[in-house]
Amino acid sequence: MKITVIGSGYVGLVSGVCFADFGHSVTCVDKDAAKIAALQSGIIPIYEPGLDQIVLANVEAGRLQFTTALANAVAEVDVIFIAVGTPARRGDGHADLTYVYDVAREIAPLITRFTVVVTKSTVPVGTGDEVERLIRSVNPEADVAVVSNPEFLREGAAIADFKHPDRVVVGLQDERARSVMAEVYRPLNLNSSPLLFTSRRSAELIKYGANAFLAMKITFINEMASLCEVAGGDVQEVARGMGLDRRIGEKFLNAGPGFGGSCFPKDTQALVQMGREHASPMRLVEATVDVNVARKGAMAKRVIAACGGSVAGRTIGVLGLTFKPETDDMRDAPSLDIIAGLEAAGAHVRAYDPKGMAAARPLLPNVTLVDTAYEVADGASAVVLVTEWNEFRALDLAQLKSRMSDGLLVDLRNVYREADVTKHGLGYLGLGKPRRLP
């Protein structure tokens, strides 16, 4: 099939590349001429494991191309995917649909035959209705079926998620789109991936519902971790005991410094706004948002307390800056709140991240960014493990200790066991562990 993907950011690029890898003919469009030029030269603007090889293979095979020329890309195609950004709108947290609606207006006069127009962007309920209205208002003769096909990609595992999804959700109002979308995803039949057809509005709500539920699960275990610390439990034991219940499951039950990234923060905020607009308040989601904001802010205070109540004039090392491993995404990363709190308390921060340094540099102008994990420890009173990259899981703790002024490891991901750390002369503070009485 001939497919055009408008928007070559994270979702659009991964989706377009994977569709090409399925065997479809794909054109990825973006207004950013520098980005398109880079892609045409084989330079990938984001870090996603394996993406560069798939781009190269499909460009060489002639199935994938990149362009800024929208008119040529839209003419005579079967499916147009809208995959532009929907950032949180300043002031109220609602999803900003400016780019989505701009695309709808721009493609409308270019449609010359029956075309399926798909919103791949994360959009609030009812957006598909407005996209269809806009297209028809610009071009009353446009023969289109507007579909919602939300993405469920995890950064760092996006290619595997696209090719081996738990489900593919397709929301439609026009039945003509059913066979077209079935053909788009036909290569997944071999994996027996469920293709779930719903109404368009249901599909839009499924995306937000899924992300909000996972965010609540993370926030719940973080609150359990806080309770464990004062009540004498161990959150890792609690999480395992909970997760073995098949109704609950073990995923997203790892205590941490709070969720971040491109999806959960903005999608929970957007769902809260949707509830308010429809006079159906999302109280659990509202609480999740509030607790997560407080959680990230409290992590710096935890480090300061562990350092005796003051970090003024002291050096603190930070391991990991991105919101999760295997990505260079710094959006709403907990490290930003933690470092801001430490700097406000007078600390000097040294930090390292395997892939996020370039993205972090403009966001953390006062932080000393170093080249290795061990350099963050130089002269540090404490080292804080914020993001659980694989290279941080088996550090030479003796070397870490030898480079520090004081020896404290604050493990905000519970990567290490206390006994394995303290035998090297380091103090240890994890999450959700019982606080020892004097």
Per residue in 287-307, pLDDT (tens digit) is 999 999 999 999 999 999 999
Average pLDDT over residues 310-321: 98
Q: What does the pLDDT look like over 106-165, one tens digit per residue?
A: 999 999 999 999 999 999 999 999 999 999 999 999 999 999 999 999 999 999 999 999
Whole-number Å distance between alpha carbons of 204 and 183: 21
Sorting pLDDT into bands at 50, 70 and 90, what band is 94? confident
Q: For residue 263, indicate whether it is catalytic.
A: yes
At residue 435, does pLDDT exceed 80?
A: no
- The mean predicted confidence, pLDDT, of the chain is 95
pLDDT at 436: 56
Q: Which pTM does this prediction carry?
A: 0.93
Residue of 203 and 189 predicted with greater confidence = 203
* pLDDT per position as a tens digit, 6-62: 999 999 999 999 999 999 999 999 999 999 999 999 999 999 999 999 999 999 999
Of the residues 18, 28, 228, 263, only one is catalytic, namely 263
Domains annotated for the chain, with CATH where assigned, are 2-198 (3.40.50.720), 290-429 (3.40.50.720)
User: Is residue 101 a contact partner of residue 64, using CB atoms and an 8 Å limit?
Assistant: no
Alpha-carbon distance 250 to 270, whole Å?
A: 27
Residue 194 to residues 165, 280, 377, Cα–Cα distance (Å): 8, 31, 48
pLDDT value, residue 152: 94
Between the alpha carbon of residue 307 and those of residues 78, 377, 426, 427, 429, the distances in Å are 61, 15, 13, 10, 11
Angstrom distance (rounded) from CA 256 to CA 295: 9
The whole-number average pLDDT for the span 190-209 is 93
pLDDT category at 438 given cuts 50, 70, 90 is very low
CA-nearest of 4, 129, 179, 19 to 78 is 4
